[in-house]
Structure formats: structure tokens, C-alpha cells
Amino acid sequence: MPEPKIVVKNIEKIFGKNVDKARRLVESGTPKNEILEQTGCAVGVFDASFEVYEGETLVIMGLSGSGKSTLIRCINRLHNPTRGKVTVDGTDVTKLNDEELRRIRQEKFAMVFQRFALLPHRTILENAAFGLELQEMELEKRQEKARDALKLVGLEGWENVYPEQLSGGMQQRVGLARALAVDTDILLMDEAFSALDPLIRAEMQDELLALEDRVQKTIIFITHDLDEALKIGDRIVLMKDARIVQIGTPEEILKEPATEYVKRFVENVDMTKVLSANDVMLKAASVTVGKDGPRTALHMMKERGISNLFAVDKSRRLRGIIAADDAEKAVKEKAKSIEHIILDHEAYKVQPDTPLEEIMPLMVDLHVPVAVVDEDNKLVGIIVRGSILAGLTTKENDETTETA
């Protein structure tokens, strides 16, 4: 495993003066509201530990009041932790003086908030360049960086308009561009899309995924929305009442909930947004072009009780699909090759990480399996209607052979 970029260890944030008593009450299991009544202290985060790796998108999620926003603010010390340690690239952030903290924020952190916080009297270009202006970068250079960032988020050509002329989604893109312009290693995004309507929010989620593929930032993303967390996160930190209750990949959270609370939290999730082709694909029967003939293809189909068979080359790269009727006709014609009966299958190929929600529309009018291929176009499996239903029912990989 690579060295983590961010290490959060036993972070605690208790607001108020009677911290020691509040801590003892937390450790005894006293609810947060009772601790507030007895001590006047508000418990924001308690004993939080996790790691974030370079290029990873880590989602911290939970209901309102769970402590997720407090936790992210402890990472860049917008809140000074009551106890615990945060290291970034080996530097202990919790021990930095004001000047050192200012420097590491400029070099390492950029933050995108739920509210766009754009300056209404400044143009979009000036808003995108604002962080660089605070760093006292000279005008021409900061405008160049801001233009590049606006282009990354799809706002090229909008540089000279003002925030009020943009939709909510476009304004949030400006906020994202402002964070990207300062070119830090880490993006902290606190409920960044929560104020957007559902359609624009989905578009921004897609944009963030595409953007992450291009710029390779380390992202910590705060949300209260499970579907958003499952879509965006490489891993998820789930919080309840100031504590972390589970950390895992989206699939681990769904398949192996650590507590009854997590189980209830995820029980109504749309599994088509979580499961991918890799989770439901079956072993693919195939014939090899240049080795197998139509008689072999027809025999394999009869043995398996199927009406279609994939054709691959000797490296298992997908060539297409063969229908039983065509194989039978080729046998009657005494053909030795299957080359002329291979049908194109380009429209029905997906990669292993393709979500089920994108695959299911393909299956509506499709009477042949969907091929699952890797990045080299090598056949790794197939998907039929039955395998999708089995995957959604069991939430586990179906390792059986094709029965379509």
C-alpha cells in the first residue's frame, strides 16, 4: 500500500469549557443532547481516525448533526481540534503556528462550500481568480490560471459575465473553478452540491467524476445523501452522533453493514447505482476464430442450451457474436470457417465497472447477451437478464455458467 496523504488520528472537537467532563460523558455513552444540558458543551467529533490516499475521493457522510462538517474543518484547522492529530504529507497540521498554517493551506488545501460565496460585483473570471489574488499572484498569471480552471469546468466563454447571470449549477462550477485555480493537492468539498436541484446536482456529480479523472486531486467530500456518496466515493466514512460507525468501499458498506444503524441507513438504496457489470456478469462461452469452425460453435450452443455464442481471437479479444441459425446454415453449406457468420457486437459491449443503471436500458429490447470486455477488448464475461435479477436479489457475484 502507498503511504497515505492524509492521516486523521483520534480527532476530537468539543465546543465549550467543561471539556473533560463532556469527554467522560461521551465515553460512558451519554447522548449528545444530555451532555449539552449537563456541561454546556457541544460534542462535534469524537475519536475519529482514518486515512486518505493520494488521488482518492473519500466521502464523509451522515445525517445533520453527525459531525461530518466539523470533522472536515478539523483537517485544515478551520476548527482547532480539542485532541488528536492530523498529518498531511507527513506534516502534523495540529502543531503548526499561524504562519505555517497559512502556508500549508495555500499549498495543500482548497475548499468548496455548499453556498457558492461568489462576489456579486466581480466577473466570473475575477471570482475564479480570487484565491490567487489573495496569494498576491500578478494579474496576468492569475487570469491565465483562472481561465484554464473555468475551461476545466465547462465555463469557457463566460469569463466576463457576473454571478447573477448564471444558474445555480453554473455558479457552483465557478466555486469549483476557484478551488482548482489555486492548484492545491487536496479539495475539501462541504455539501458542495446540496443547494442544487436534483438534475443539476446529478450533472455536477458526473462533472466531478470526469474532472477527477483529468486532474487527479485528493478529494474529501461531505454529504448527507447516500446515493451521492455511493456514486462519488472510492470509500465512505459514515458518521453518527459525532462518531465514525463504519469505513469502507460503497460495496462493503452495502453488503456488510457494521451496525444496525448502518443497515437501516442503507436498506433502501437503489442497487442499480451501486452494482456494476463485474458484480453480475457470468462466465462467457466462446469460440476462437481461426481455430474453431461452425460445427464446433453449433455443438457448444446445443450442449449449453443457448442460441448465441461469442467469437474471440486467440488473445480473447472480442470479434462479435454468432447465432445458432447462422452456425447451422454454415454447417449445411460445409463451411470450415466462422469468419463470415460473425455479427458485430459493438453496440452491446460494456466494461467491468459500468454501473447496472447504464446496462439495464440495453437489455430492454436485446435478445443477445451483453459482452463485458476489459480495456484491451478482451472478453471477460457476459450479462443476461437472469444474472441482473440474481445480482439485485442476492447482492453477490453469480459465478455460474451462462444459462441464457
Taking only the tens of pLDDT, the chain with its 404 residues reads: 678 999 999 999 999 999 999 999 999 989 888 999 999 999 999 999 999 999 899 999 988 889 999 999 999 999 999 999 999 999 999 999 999 998 898 888 887 776 667 888 989 998 888 888 888 888 888 888 888 888 887 888 888 988 888 887 788 788 888 888 887 889 888 887 776 677 777 777 887 887 777 778 899 999 988 888 888 889 999 999 999 999 999 888 888 889 998 888 887 776 777 778 888 888 888 899 988 998 999 998 888 888 888 999 988 999 989 989 999 999 999 888 898 998 887 668 888 888 888 888 777 777 788 899 998 999 988 888 776 666 666 554 433 333 33
**Length of the chain measured in residues:** 404
Q: How many of the other CB atoms lie within 10 Å of CB of 214?
A: 8
Distance CA 225, CA 25 (A): 30
- The phi-psi region of residue 150 (left if phi > 0; otherwise alpha if psi is between -120 and 50; otherwise beta) is alpha
Q: What are the Cα distances from residue 196, in Å, to 66, 155, 193, 202, 279?
A: 22, 17, 6, 9, 32
Residue with cell 441482473: 388
Distance CA 221, CA 219 (A): 6
pTM of the model: 0.68
